[in-house]
Structure 1
Amino acid sequence: MTTAIDLFAGLGGWSTGARAAGVKVLWAANHWPEAVKWHAANHPTTDHVCQDLHQARWEQVPPHDLLLASPCCQGHSKARGKASGNPQHDSSRSTAWAVVSALEYHRPAGGVVENVPEFVDWALYPAWLQAVQALGYQVAPHIVDCADLGVPQHRVRLFLVLTRSRAPLMLELHKRQHVPAASFLDFSAGKWSPIEKPGRAAATLTRVANGRARFGDRFIMPYYGKGSGLTGRCTSRPIGTITTLDRWALVRGDEMRMLSANEALAAQSFPADTLRPDNHRLTMHMAGNAVPPKAAQIILEAMMAAA
């Protein structure tokens, strides 16, 4: 059986997708105790470490075939990086060097690194890429909208496929039929509030009015940010990107509510039986940071088929 380790494992999008692809995840690490707790709950046969991976003891990590990693992306994102006045993310960008350290010690056959597409615009990306290549790896970049892989969410991400091969391995990722948001939204559940109430933002009311004109009495819309502009979107298409904060609202007639934590996990393609915190905010944070397991599964299956 193909084996893997999961760096910056979070709630376990990579690990869940790997399991579905028939890959055994031997070891997983994250610096956040809460994330490690829930990853362990969902992957009890995996060894877990809670630590800053800059300080990892790679000799204590089991040998493996594949390295799976999602280094911190906030420092690269246009919305939250240095260009937006967030220099505190300088250190988060450096988490990608843990991938190099792990590759240098174990030299696995391959790996996949997931991040936002802006990762390649990082000033140190050329040096990072050169370091990976110096270790004998070819790097094949794939920019993928996860909706094209069957995830019910438009989420554009960069997947760097690393292989010890003569040429970069470009995967055959056939575009799948889009799965609508209606597949996981429950308009009969949840805590709803009146749309017309004191303090409701004018932009929200504008989105509701425009959404009604286009989609009728039931639709989804961004509660903050640009998202789908001032129109919202129908439920017959995938939802927009799930973030770490409450962003998406459901509209039902004269009422609205925010997307539930379970709906956010479903939008990310986590299985319905995924264990999670009771705390809504914590779950949303983990969901927004995760790799969609369905996308992870398909990418790993394509990688192993091409090997």
Structure 2
Amino acid sequence: MSYKVVSLFSGAGGMDVGMEEAGFEIVAASELDAHASNTYRRNNPSVDLIEGDIEDPTNFNKIVSYEGIDLVVGGPPCQGFSVAGKMNKDDPRSKLVFTFCSVVEQLQPKAFIMENVKSLASLSKFQEVREEIIQRMTDAGYQVSMQVLNAKDFGVPQSRERVFFIGTRLGSPFVSISDFDKYKKKAVSLREAIGHLGRAGTKTNPRVTNAKITLAKKPILRKSPYSGMLFNGQGRPLNPDAWSSTLPASMGGNRTPIIDEDHLYDHKESWIEQHHAALINGKKDMKYGEAPTRLRRLTIDEAAILQTFPVDYEFLGPSTRIFSQIGNAVPCQLAEAVGRVVLSAISDDNYRMKLSK
């Protein structure tokens, strides 16, 4: 049996890749950004893509016109809730979580999955927002589970925590945190994930980031060399022998993460760790503004791998817009795990079993 999905705030399609891998069929999608829409359309030609503002009545009416929808998914813009932004619940983009609720109320699917940043689930300042989401969906006939999941626990080589509001109709199993246990998978290291691409600028890894790397005049030191602020801008260095830190949508310039190529490819001692140790010990081993050429920014292809996009996935648009598409996406393997849990909950067998008890 085919379980049909309407996807909202679809972006480049990371969530939808995961849903399809889990066994769902995407029948319609909605996206505002033109570059992300072009990427989505290139990789999902059979999906009916509704491009433009979801709050435009014409677009909204198209979205809610589909019949027999089993699942609504989406990640409404998170800038109003993100610690990387101003964290303003009154940001107009924050209201789009309720537009998502409106679509669910109209389509009445068997389930819904709404993804957002962890702070929406954890901070007291957003308590009213999450309570309103849960109350509206409860009134619409859903039992709502709010789960904070880390992508690295599901095979994604990136530490990335996100909240998922998951609703299943009364009569279906309630989704609990234990339901995710069987889909957990240890993530590989950065070295294992991207090492095969080779050095930036080569034939196998050509889409480089040209933003310069300069040392911070007043570095902010932390216990780990891979936290704090050793460089100008917000691009932090990545440890090849660990997972990536969370990839931001603002990549493409000086917020793009930094890699020590000699450490990654030649297994030389990390310059970043040596520099950090010198600073901790009160030494300044390099002049302000200088950084060795062995340091460079993450490339587009590396970022796509760290978000677990398929290797043949095509991204369209200028490099900065491609980076934002990648950084905004739900990691595909994380989405797949969530999709599998929900599919199990709404499957006909589970539904009948629940009713027979």
TM-score interval for Structure 1 and Structure 2 normalised by the shorter chain:
0.7 to 0.9
Q: Is the radius of gyration larger for structure 1 or structure 2?
A: 2
Match of 1:107 in 2: 108
CA contact (8 A) 2:7 2:29 kept: yes
Whether 1:236 and 2:241 are equivalent positions in the alignment is: yes
Structure 1 residues 297 and 76: CA distance shift in structure 2, 3 A: same
Q: Is the 8 A contact 2:219 2:231 kept in 1?
A: no
Alignment partner, residue 16 of structure 1: 17
Per-residue Cα deviation, 1:112-165 (whole angstroms, up to 9, x for no partner): 110012223424332222111100011111101100010111100001111002
The yes-or-no answer on 1:81 pairing with 2:86 is yes
Displacement of 1:233 after TM fit?
4.5
Cα gap change, 1:176 to 1:223, in 2 (>3 Å)? farther
| Aligned residues between the structures | 286
1:151 pairs with one of 136, 149, 156: 156
Q: Secondary structure at the match of 1:184?
A: helix
Q: Does the 8 Å contact 1:114/1:157 carry over to 2?
A: yes
Cα deviation, residue 36, structure 1: 1.2
Residue 277 (structure 2) pairs with residue 268 (structure 1): no
- CA–CA separation in structure 1 for the residues paired with 2:250 and 2:4: 33
Worse overlay, 272-281 or 53-62? 53-62
Distance 2:151 2:339 in 1: 14
Structure 2 alignment gaps of length 5 or more: 263-291, 347-357
Confirm whether residue 281 of structure 1 aligns to residue 320 of structure 2: yes
**Which residue identity is paired with 2:303?**
A
**Runs of 4+ residues deviating >6 angstroms:** 204-207
* Structure 1 match to 2:339: 300
Residues 20-58 of structure 1: CA deviation (Å, up to 9, x unaligned): 112110000011122111101111110000122223114
Q: CA RMSD in A?
A: 2.8
Counterpart Cα distance in 2 of 1:45 and 1:119: 33
The question of whether the paired residues in 2 share the 8 Å contact of 1:70 and 1:113 is answered with: yes
User: Retained in 2: the 8 A contact 1:73–1:92?
Assistant: yes
SS of residue paired to 1:202: strand
Counterpart position of 1:169: 175
Write the letter of the residue equivalent to 1:28.
Answer: A
Q: 1:127 aligns with which of 120, 123, 132?
A: 132
* Preserved CA contact (<8 Å) 1:146 1:156: yes
Q: CA deviation at 1:62?
A: 4.3
Separation in 1, partners of 2:231, 2:156: 19
Letter in 1 for 2:48: D
* CA pair 107-268 structure 1, distance change in 2 beyond 3 A: same
Q: Structure 1 unaligned runs (5+)?
A: 215-220
TM superposition shift of 1:256:
1.5
| Secondary structure of the structure 2 residue equivalent to 1:151 | coil
Structure 1 residues 226, 200: CA separation in 2 closer, same or farther (over 3 Å shift)? closer
- Give the stretch that moved more between structures: 93-102 or 158-167: 158-167
Taking structure 1 as reference, are residues 13 and 233 closer, same or farther at Cα in structure 2, changes over 3 Å only? closer
State the match for 1:184 in structure 2: 194
